[in-house]
């Protein structure tokens, strides 16, 4: 086999934003798959905010990536050689293949993707992990009812775009919070949100009072920090807050800023609950079928922000933290 693999290994635990020196770029020959294994040519790599957390030492819902290990990432590829009867050459597969161009697998934790007419990158976004996060976070934890007001932060991103559209499908009034006019226009004009708040140019607290006069019934939080604190000031009685993520805090060099307005939970008999999408793996197929149906019916749009070039990985990852992506950020390998 004459293939050459390139990969990014974690070289150091970053302080703040990851730097180029936090990575080692390596080249190695690709070995043949052994008995029960198959070789995958990676086509698309999912870039996710959680990757920043996986680079830290310490306890989390998943072990940190070790120094010298290939950076963990979900990825989609095509089987190019196989000694595993369940995976044939030409199959498209999804798994935690990491930030590399080729991977050898024994099939554990790998799913086949039958894309049909749907473009492959959609299976890293709306029909992949971020879409599942939106679906279960909103419907299982948020429990929106028709006529209620749903607010989502990180609204123009992979998770946020899907949360807002599902909330519309469920008959809610939907307000998205995002950075900049382009993102705010997109979620209202293209995705059908009822209103958008540009947190970079507006007073979020005042804007929430304006757009949510009856209060917020469900706040789906992707960003944490000051925006979570502002949302807490405008809760309706019995509100549900879904703690999905806190991207505003991931690259901080100071301790995470917690919400100071939390007593609003008491006053409003509200609840705040964290969710991890991996707890729902048994139900991914069910959610995928329903969301694919919504997509086919034109009720759910998917947008991917695709950057080409494997070697751009260190800079492309930073787009998430600089707000330079709209929709799902995907690295196209070649």
Ligand X SMILES: NC(=O)c1ccc[n+]([C@@H]2O[C@H](COP(=O)([O-])OP(=O)(O)OC[C@H]3O[C@@H](n4cnc5c(N)ncnc54)[C@H](OP(=O)(O)O)[C@@H]3O)[C@@H](O)[C@H]2O)c1
Among 36, 192, 314, 323, binds ligand X (CB under 6 A): 323
Among 72, 170, 183, 303, binds ligand X (CB under 6 A): 183
Site string for ligand X, 206-245 (x = CB under 6 A): ----------------xx--------------------xx
Nearer Cβ to ligand X, position 42 or 158? 158
Helix (H) and strand (E) counts in the chain: 9, 15
CB of 251 to ligand X, least distance (A): 8
Q: Is 43 helix (H, G, I), strand (E, B) or coil?
A: strand
Among 248, 264, 302, 316, binds ligand X (CB under 6 A): 248
Q: How many CA atoms lie within 13 A of 134 on its CB side?
A: 32
Q: Label residue 124 left, alpha or beta by phi (over 0 means left) and psi (-120 to 50 means alpha).
A: alpha
Nearer Cβ to ligand X, position 50 or 55? 50
CB of 108 to ligand X, least distance (A): 21
Nearer Cβ to ligand X, position 21 or 201? 201
Which of 8-16, 98-106, 164-172, 174-182 is the region at the interface with ligand X (rule: CB under 6 A)?
Answer: 174-182
CB of 36 to ligand X, least distance (A): 31
DSSP 269-297: T-EEEE--GGGGGGGHHHHHHHHHHHHHT
Which of 25-33, 65-73, 293-301, 318-326 is the region at the interface with ligand X (rule: CB under 6 A)?
Answer: 318-326
Nearest Cα residue to 191 out of 46, 295, 329: 295
Nearest Cα residue to 197 out of 131, 147, 232, 209: 209
Q: Which residues, 93 to 112, sit near ligand X by CB under 6 A?
A: none
> What is the distance of C-alpha 134 from the center of its chain?
9
Nearer Cβ to ligand X, position 158 or 236? 158
Measured CA to CA, the distance from residue 42 to residue 96 in angstroms comes to 11
Most distant CA pair in the chain, distance: 66
Question: Is 277 a residue that touches ligand X (CB under 6 A)?
Answer: yes
Measured CA to CA, the distance from residue 245 to residue 243 in angstroms comes to 6
Which class for 169: exposed (0-12), middle (13-18), buried (19 or more C-beta within 10 A)? middle
Site string for ligand X, 133-172 (x = CB under 6 A): x--------------------x-xxxxx------------
Nearer Cβ to ligand X, position 30 or 230? 230
Binding site for ligand X (CB under 6 A): 48-50, 130, 133, 154, 156-160, 178-180, 183, 222-223, 244-248, 275-277, 320-321, 323, 325, 329
């Amino acid at each position: 086999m004459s293939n050459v693999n390139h990969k990014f290994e974690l070289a150091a635990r970053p302080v703040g934003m990851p730097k180029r020196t936090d990575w080692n770029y390596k080249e190695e020959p690709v070995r043949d798959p052994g008995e029960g294994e198959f070789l995958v040519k990676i086509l698309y790599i999912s870039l996710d905010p959680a990757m920043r957390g996986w680079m830290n030492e310490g306890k989390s819902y998943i072990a940190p990536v070790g120094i010298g290990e290939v950076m963990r990432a979900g990825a989609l590829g095509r089987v190019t050689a196989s000694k595993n009867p369940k995976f044939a050459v030409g199959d498209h597969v999804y798994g935690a293949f990491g930030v590399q161009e080729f991977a050898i697998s024994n099939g554990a934790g790998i799913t086949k993707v039958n894309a049909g007419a749907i473009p492959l990158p959609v299976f890293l976004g709306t029909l992949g992990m971020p879409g599942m996060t939106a679906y279960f976070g909103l419907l299982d934890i948020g429990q929106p009812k028709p006529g209620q007001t749903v607010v989502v932060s990180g609204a123009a991103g992979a998770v946020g775009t899907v949360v807002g559209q599902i909330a519309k499908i469920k008959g809610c009034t939907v307000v998205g919070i995002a950075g900049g006019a382009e993102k705010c226009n997109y979620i209202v004009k293209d995705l059908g949100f009822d209103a958008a708040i540009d947190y970079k140019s507006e007073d979020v607290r005042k804007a929430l009072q304006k757009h949510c006069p009856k209060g917020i019934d469900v706040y789906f939080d992707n960003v944490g920090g000051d925006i979570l604190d502002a949302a807490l000031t405008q809760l309706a009685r019995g509100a549900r807050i879904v703690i999905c993520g806190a991207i505003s805090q991931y690259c901080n060099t100071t301790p995470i800023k917690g919400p100071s307005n939390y007593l609003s939970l008491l006053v409003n008999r509200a609840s705040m609950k964290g969710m991890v999408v991996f707890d729902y793996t048994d139900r991914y197929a069910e959610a995928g079928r329903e969301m694919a149906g919504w997509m086919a019916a034109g009720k759910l749009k998917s947008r991917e922000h695709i950057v080409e070039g494997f070697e751009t990985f260190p800079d492309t990852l930073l787009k998430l933290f600089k707000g330079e992506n709209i929709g799902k950020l995907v690295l196209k390998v070649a």
